[in-house]
Amino acid sequence: MSDEFVPRERDEFRVQRRFIKSPDTKARDEIVSKTQAEIKQKDMQLAEITAQLNKAVTDPKVAAERKTLIAELGELKKTQADLKTKRNTVNSRIKEIDSSLKRKISEIQNVTSKYSFKSVDDIDNKIKRSEDEIASGDLALVEERRLVKEISSLRKLRKDFASLDAQQKSIDNDKQKIADLKKELSTFNSKEVSAKFEEVQKKLDELSLSNKSVNDKRTSLIQKRSALFKEKDALYATLKKTREEFDQQFKAFKKAMADEKKRVAEEEKKLRADKAKSERKSKLEKELAEASKPAFEEEIDSIHTLLAFFDPTYVKPSKTIEFNKSTFVSERKGRVISLDDDFEIIKKPDDVFIAGSKTNGAGKKNKKASKAKFTMEPEVISQLGDLDIALPTSREDTPKTIESLKAKLEEYTASQEATTKKNIEAAKAKIAKMEADWAKQDAKEAEAAAAAAAKAEGESTEAAKETADQE
């Protein structure tokens, strides 16, 4: 058995994969384990603080009194708010009436400012004095006419002043309303409520002071608890960050592995494709080379060899013919030939083809039998059968066989060039068809590969989208 190593096909196209280091799971687990232990410790501390808070409680009696005082303080605040609302309402009403009062007084002043009279009585008094002067008869006619005319004007003015009485009464009513509202406002005194509020607040402060130690302790515990919650949140953040970083590294690792697998597959595919192309090229070259060989070359060589066999004086043109056993071994399957009963096929050493007479005792004894039989090597018989030439049954038939061989040689030589050209054209047509078939196959494979790549890319995109939605 040979010791030479023959690689298998799958080994022949195997591409070495690059080493891709996976994320350090051990390091991640150590960080996660350590962080979880710290979180557990914080939980124990929080439980202890919660227990201390449950113990640090205010005396129930003090708590009840504090609750009562707080409720009373709330009622006082509500009362103060109600009083304030009422005062604001009354003040708004006073302000509204006062504004109307000022407007009415301004209207009266606009009328009375033009005259020296302030009321209807003043006008009546003036009319009476003028009438008395006229009635005395001491006035001159001109002066009397002037007074009569003045009395007439005063009487018209009296009508205008008479309409101001209603306005004046309205003014007096407004003044009375303002006085009443101010009197009502004085009843909304919040001093007593304020004093009571301060008293209740003072009691609350005293209770808080007496309970200061408990409150301080609770405040301290609450602050410690808040600090522990922050530390615990930081630990959870560290835990989350560690896992997220590992997940990202693992995703990158998986992607790198997939990319490397894809690279190896593509390179192995390329190797196979290159070999296939090389084999195709070799096949095409072999087809063309076989077709380019002179036609009937094998048959012509066989004829030359057989002629040299049957005619020792025959010399193959420009080539020394040496007969040996292998010359007559043909890859083609020879014809099955039926021979006469007295025709015997024997095997002899390679340098003996036709049996001669022997001079020894045994030869003399069988002399008659050897003359009656004509023997040939099986290789010669096979070659003649392939050339479709009748076998010689005796030495006398060999000249006829030689003539047949020469005729066959002339036939092959005459048609060799034309047949060779025909074989070349047929080979070229066959090569063109093979190349077209291979091109179709390559296109189909390329289309299938593109579809598979598109599908893989779509699945990868969909998976990335689902991962993003989950996150």
| pLDDT bracket for residue 239 (50, 70, 90) | very high
Confidence of residue 9 (pLDDT cuts 50, 70, 90): low
pLDDT beyond 70 at 273: yes
Crossing angle of helices 60-112/191-210, nearest 10°?
A: 160
pLDDT of residue 349: 41
Q: How would residue 115 be classed by pLDDT, with cut points 50, 70 and 90?
A: low
Cα gap 383→299, rounded to integer Å: 9
Mean pLDDT in residue range 454-459? 73
Between CA 238 and CA 37 the distance in angstroms is 13
What amino acid occupies position 295? A
pLDDT of 414 higher than 80: yes
Only one residue has tokens 């609450």, namely 222
Which structure tokens are listed for 220?
């301290």
Hey, what long-range contacts does 121-127 have (CB within 8 A, 24 or more apart)?
A: 123/154, 123/157, 123/158, 123/161, 124/158, 126/154, 127/151, 127/154, 127/155, 127/158
Name the more confident of 462 and 23. Answer: 23
Q: What is the pLDDT of residue 469?
A: 57
Six-digit token string for 55: 């113990």
Q: Which amino acid is at 465?
A: K
d(CA 23, CA 247): 9
Residues 108 and 165: beta-carbon distance below 8 Å: no
Assess whether pLDDT exceeds 70 at residue 220: yes
- Any idea which of 187-196, 351-360, 375-384 has the lowest mean pLDDT? 351-360
User: What is the rounded distance in angstroms from the CA atom of residue 246 to the CA atom of residue 25?
Assistant: 8
In this model, does residue 439 exceed pLDDT 50?
Answer: yes
Cα gap 156→115, rounded to integer Å: 13
**What share of the chain in percent tops pLDDT 70?**
75
Contact present, 324 and 353 (Cβ < 8 Å): no
- Let me know: does 315 contact 309? Beta carbons within 8 Å: no
Average pLDDT on 100-108 reads 78
Cβ contacts of 186-191, under 8 Å, gap ≥ 24:
188/83, 188/86, 188/87, 188/90, 190/80, 190/83, 190/84
The pTM score is 0.39
For the chain, the structural domain boundaries read 25-54+197-277, 57-188, 293-316+378-464
Highest mean pLDDT among 41-55, 171-185, 288-302: 41-55
Residue 354 to residue 344: CA distance in whole angstroms = 12
The residue-averaged pLDDT of 31-60 equals 86
Residue 112 banded pLDDT, cuts 50, 70, 90: low
With tokens 């406002």, the residue in question is 185
231 pLDDT more than 60: yes
Distance CA(300)–CA(420), nearest Å, equals 14
Fold type of domain 57-188? Four Helix Bundle (Hemerythrin (Met), subunit A) (1.20.120)
List Cα–Cα distances, 170 to 113, 121, 162, in angstroms: 20, 19, 14
pLDDT exceeds cutoff 90 at 337 = no
Q: What is the DSSP letter of 319?
A: S
Residue type, position 339, single letter: L
pLDDT at 424: 87
Residue 290's pLDDT band (cuts 50, 70, 90): confident
The DSSP call for residue 396 is G
pLDDT tens column, 118-166: 666 776 777 777 777 777 777 777 777 777 777 777 777 666 666 666 6
Confidence of residue 325 (pLDDT cuts 50, 70, 90): very low
pLDDT for the residue 358:
39
Supply the pLDDT for residue 29. 92
Q: Is the pLDDT of residue 237 over 90?
A: yes
Whether the CB-CB separation of 281 and 438 falls below 8 Å is answered with no
Residue type, 7: P
* Mean pLDDT value of segment 296-318: 85
Which value, in Å, is the radius of gyration of the alpha carbons in the chain? 70
Contact 310, 387 (CB under 8 A): no
